[in-house]
Structure 1
Amino acid sequence: MTLIRKHESSLPSIWNDLFERSLFSHPLNGHSEFTVPPVNISENDTSFLVELAAPGLKKEDFNINLDRDQMTISVEQSTKTEEETENKDEHVKYSKREFSYRSFRRSFTLPDTANLEGISAMYEDGVLKVNIAKKDEAKLNTQRKISVQ
């Protein structure tokens, strides 16, 4: 992997714009309008675990909905406009503003072995953990040795 050293300059550069903005950036604010938090999905003998990295939120911000085998995790937040920020403190104007949280929605298709009645969620240290229990028949040890005759 090649590392690229970024040279900070007091003058704005077209190169900075090309490297810092994503394809989904809004041209006026330079922030990504399409933000999807990363997830880890794991399983053990008794359950599945979906971990979603979403620091800076509160547990009340999350909505987790289940529609048949589709689980959707979402956060609906609006960022404060520049006018709202200026009204709060007349003496503060931002030259760059990167502290903002966006709305997002992630959907997951649960496997047939998931117990849809056994889903729990916990938000701690910036990570939402959704534990999905497996059905009892999925917990049975299905490994066995077949003898050759």
Structure 2
Amino acid sequence: MSLVKFRKNRRPWFDGEISNWLNTNDFFTDDFFGRGGDLPAMNVKENEANFEIELAVPGFSKKDIEVSLENDILHISAEKSLEDEENKEDYTRREFSYNSFDRRLQIPKNVNRDQEVKASYKNGVLKLQLSKMEPSKAIPKKLIDIEEV
């Protein structure tokens, strides 16, 4: 087996400005591009009645994870005790670690803050459900006739 020297800056184009270029300043923004790859992968689905967020958090138990909503920020964090790390073997290479993460998301204005966020955890996937406010009735499109002069 050969070992390759690790280059820490493998993605120099992610200098913090790419998030603006990709127009990720919308809702559910966070500083993914500004941080390292230590954040859990996330999926966001928007339905008519709610937003569904899934985070891949393998290696954590339900008691390790904390979810809170304050102002317009959804805060998801987890910390695992280092007791398990003390029993580590002599690894030649170690790429995964389940120590901790901290992720903050700005939620959209149409999330109903009076409703509780529903959370469930199964098989290493944390699922959150944020209800939307009552949708406003869409104003029907009105066609305007154009006169020939």
TM-score, structure 1 as length reference: 0.66
Q: Is the 8 A contact 1:64 1:71 kept in 2?
A: yes
Distance 2:111 2:48 in 1: 12
> Residues 24-70 of structure 1: CA distance to partner in whole angstroms, max 9, x if unpaired?
xxxxxxxxx86111111121111011111111221221101111111
Q: Provide the alpha-carbon RMSD of the alignment.
A: 2.7
Q: In structure 1, what is the equivalent of residue 122 of structure 2?
A: 124
Deviation at 1:125, TM superposition (A): 2.1
Q: Deviations over 1:57-116 (max 9, x none)?
A: 21221101111111100001243486x327xxxxx6544445531211111111111011
The runs of 5 or more residues in structure 1 that have no matched partner are 1-7, 24-32, 87-91
**Which of 34, 47, 51 in structure 1 is aligned with 2:50?**
47
Mapping 1:1-149, distance limit 5 Å: 8-9=1-2, 12=3, 16-18=4-6, 22-23=8-9, 35-80=38-83, 84-85=86-87, 93-98=90-95, 100-118=97-115, 119-136=117-134, 139-142=135-138, 144-149=140-145
Distance in 1 (alpha carbons) for counterparts of 2:113 and 2:132? 9
Runs of 5+ unmatched residues, structure 2: 10-35
User: Partner letter of residue 104 of structure 1?
Assistant: F
Amino acid across the alignment from 1:147: L
Q: Which structure dedicates a bigger proportion of its chain to helix?
A: 1
User: Structure 1 segments of 4 or more deviating over 4 A?
Assistant: 92-99
Percent of aligned positions that are identical: 35
Query: What is the TM-score normalised by the length of structure 2?
Result: 0.66
Greater radius of gyration (CA): 1
Q: Any conservation in 2 of the 1:63–1:75 contact (CA below 8 Å)?
A: yes
Which residue type is aligned with residue 108 of structure 1? L
Tell me the distance in 1 between the aligned counterparts of 2:5 and 2:84.
22
> How far has the Cα of 1:17 moved from its partner?
2.0
SS at match of 2:87: helix
Contact residue 77 and residue 103 of structure 1 kept, 8 A: yes
